[in-house]
Structure 1
Amino acid sequence: MAITYANPLTEYEGKKVLVTGGTKGMGEAIAKRFASAGATVLTTARSMPTDLADPNLFVQADLSTKEGVEKVVQAVKDRFGSIDIVVNNVGGNNTPPGGFLAASDEHWIESLNWNLLAAVRLDRGLIPLMLEQGKGVIIHISSIQRVLPLIESTIPYAAAKAALSNYSKSLSKEFSPKGIRVNRVSPGFIQTTAADAMMENIAQVTGSFESALQSVMDALGGIPIGRPGYPEEVGELVAFLASDRAASITGAEYVIDGGTVPTL
């Protein structure tokens, strides 16, 4: 049987997409990729950007809180009425260096709220809309740190991302038979503007941006392709997984790390 697909440049026309944390870094690249193919994209962030093209397509909310998630869910219902694609991108790490003993209960709770419970609460609020229409796509942005934690400062973050991957797999098994595909993407070191700012700080010690970049790659055990990934590359992967071209892919995890993880 011959299968034809929509043009990748216009395949999201008429689609309603939510990208959390969609105003910077990977989230911004993902949102722009969907929009460039015709989607109407709603984004969220804790801070209001100064360069919003359409304020009606942005929700200012802290998704680490139950109230913030409820605000976004209500905005989707009010502005879209339904939802086709949800990209759970929001997350982060605020644990100080110093290993396990440096992480307090508050750091653990914060990591779980940002990197796991934000997605759980959002999915719980939006899956009913997908069930009503009999289809939808959910993509969770995990991290290679779920299998490659940096013990100096990311133990809570890595544990939360491991839990996110486990949760995402469970969700796919329950809802794929009902038309909702659920996949996850695990980036490695991605060269965002925030990463560049970190390199500039490190460069004050190492002497140059290039040496700072190399020191971070070395700390990860090296990146075989010789460079970090780019946000736009993550955007392309997410756009593919959300498309009809990936209609048979669900419950899967795709690593985009330049070969950083050294094991199967």
Structure 2
Amino acid sequence: MSAAALEVREVSWAPRKSTQPVLHPTSFEVGAGRILGVVGPNGAGKSTLLRLLYRFQKPTTGTVRINGQDIWAMPAQVAARQVAAVLQEQAAAFGLSVREIVRLGRTPHRAHFAANGAEDEAVVARVLDRLNLNALTARDFGTLSGGERQRVMVARALAQEPQILILDEPTNHLDVRHQLEVVSLIQTLGLTIVVSLHDLNMAIGICDDILVLKDGHPQGFGPPQTLLTDTLVSRTFHVDARRRHLAPCGTAHFSFALPN
């Protein structure tokens, strides 16, 4: 797997027959191998933006380009080989095993209804090993814990051999240990990653750049060290935010309180 550059230019989205966009024109670039965090309060437009990036919805305006090529100018199967997504909602597995779920990631690489070949099975085996899932391969997906399910869904996405990985709130509903596992995994994948997160301090810790959204409008884009000021965070989240630097590493950390 290799990483790709992502370029988003003036993308917006509104439901049909609606004059009010859910996402207003938004632009940013993510260099190959970098991690972009998308943050903002509920209803900010984070999930809508991600759906545009993995080609679930077509932008009302603007373009999404991977290595300079518009994703809507390429066949859907080709796009699925370049962009994979792990969503908050996990579809019913209908009795499928972990291995069978991960095999689904090879679908974009198969011709029509062809069965998995030796190369496909080799990719699946590598991904299962990388995510420490070998002991669970025969387990029914529905019997797994939340953390285990999340690892399986990431494995399915990696089996697509994408260049860009989209993660929608990957730590949501996970306990602290499984949150740390997911964060550690994100940092070692070597792909271009766009991840939406509720935890601002987690975003600071793992992301190279941050995009802040509020009410469908971009509020700022850039490195977290310079972008995330007390004023911006307080205004975006309607809280009293105070940024501190933790000794001895100097890592930034926000504390929050309700405004007076």
Q: TM-score, normalised by structure 2?
A: 0.33
Q: TM-score, normalised by structure 1?
A: 0.33
Which structure has more helix as a fraction of its residues?
1
Which structure has more strand as a fraction of its residues?
2
